[in-house]
Amino acid sequence: MSVIIIKIAELKYTGDSIGDDIRLEVEFLGKSFSFDKKIKPMGIFKINKEIGRIETDNQVFEKPIKIKVIEQDLVFDDIGKAESVVKVDTAVGSPQKCSFTVKVQEFNKTLRKSSAIFEVVLEVEIVEPKKIIKLQQYRPSLFGEDYNKYDAEIIEAVNYWNEFFAQQKEAPLELLDPNLVKAMAYVESKVGNFRPKNKKFYPGFPDIMQVADPRNGAIYALQNSINPESGKKSTEYEVHDGKLVRLQYPEANGSEMEESLKWGVRWLYRVAQANIEENGVWRRQWRSWKDAVMKYNNGGDKNYVPKVYAAYENGIGEQNFKLWMIPILILLGLGIGGYQLSATEDVDSLPVDTVIDETRFPDRTNFIPATRFDSYEGSTTTLGWDMYPPTGCKSDQDDMKTEENLKNCNYTVGTNWSPQWTVKLTDGLYYFIKKDLAMELDNEVDGPAHVTFEQSAIGDLNHDGLDDAVVVLNVNYGGTANVLNMVVLVQDGMGQYTQMADYMFLDRDVIQYLFIDHGVITARVFVHAEDDPLCCATHYDTYRFKIVDWSVLRPNDDLRN
| pLDDT range class, residue 351, cuts 50, 70, 90 | very low
| Closest residue by Cα to residue 7 from 71, 88, 103 | 88
What's the mean pLDDT in 19-32? 94
| Closest residue by Cα to residue 334 from 226, 460, 176, 479 | 176
Which bin fits 383, alpha (ψ -120 to 50), beta or left (φ > 0)? Answer: beta
Between 247 and 348, the higher pLDDT residue: 247
Which bin fits 50, alpha (ψ -120 to 50), beta or left (φ > 0)? Answer: beta
Which of 96-100, 124-128, 477-481 is predicted with the least confidence, judged by mean pLDDT? 124-128
Between 91 and 439, the higher pLDDT residue: 91
What's the mean pLDDT in 487-498? 91
| pLDDT range class, residue 231, cuts 50, 70, 90 | confident
Between CA 208 and CA 190 the distance in angstroms is 8
| pLDDT range class, residue 133, cuts 50, 70, 90 | low
Instruction: Write down the pLDDT at residue 2.
Output: 80
CA–chain centroid gap for 318, Å, is 18
Q: In sequence order, which residues have a C-beta less than 8 Å from that of residue 288 and are 6 or more positions away?
A: none
Q: In sequence order, which residues have a C-beta less than 8 Å from that of residue 123 and are 6 or more positions away?
A: 6, 7, 9, 95, 96, 97
| Closest residue by Cα to residue 147 from 320, 333, 315, 329 | 315
Q: Do 470 and 516 contact (CB within 8 A), yes or no?
A: yes
Any idea what DSSP says for residue 290? H
| pLDDT range class, residue 343, cuts 50, 70, 90 | very low
What's the mean pLDDT in 390-395? 93
pLDDT at position 375 over 60: no
Q: Do 201 and 509 contact (CB within 8 A), yes or no?
A: no
In order of 7, 15, 71, 122, 450, the CA distances from 80 in angstroms are 21, 14, 9, 18, 55
Share of the chain above pLDDT 70, in %: 82
Between CA 162 and CA 176 the distance in angstroms is 7
Between CA 27 and CA 9 the distance in angstroms is 15
CB atoms near residue 348 (< 10 Å): 6
Residue 232 CB-half CA count within 13 A: 13
At 48-59, the pLDDT tens digits run 888 988 888 888
Q: In sequence order, which residues have a C-beta less than 8 Å from that of residue 413 and are 6 or more positions away?
A: 420, 421, 423, 448, 451, 473, 475, 485, 487, 502
Between CA 456 and CA 20 the distance in angstroms is 49
Task: Could you list the beta-strand ranges (E) of 90-215.
Answer: 96-105, 115-127, 132-135
CA atoms 45, 48, 54, 60: torsion sign = positive
Look at strands 450-459 and 468-476 and give their pairing. antiparallel
Domains and CATH numbers, the chain: 2-127 (2.60.40.150), 131-347 (no CATH), 360-557 (no CATH)
* pTM score: 0.67
Give the containing element (helix H, strand E) for 52: strand 44-56
What's the mean pLDDT in 67-93? 91
Torsion of CA 443, 448, 449, 453, to 10 degrees: 170
Give the containing element (helix H, strand E) for 443: helix 443-446
Q: Do 393 and 408 contact (CB within 8 A), yes or no?
A: yes
Between 536 and 42, the higher pLDDT residue: 42
Instruction: Write down the pLDDT at residue 94.
Output: 76
| pLDDT range class, residue 559, cuts 50, 70, 90 | very low
| Closest residue by Cα to residue 425 from 415, 439, 410, 445 | 410
Between CA 285 and CA 424 the distance in angstroms is 33
Share of the chain above pLDDT 90, in %: 49
CB atoms near residue 468 (< 10 Å): 23
pLDDT at position 360 over 60: no
Between CA 465 and CA 459 the distance in angstroms is 9
Q: What is the DSSP string of 231-270?
A: TEE---EEEETTEEEE---TT---SSHHHHHHHHHHHHHH
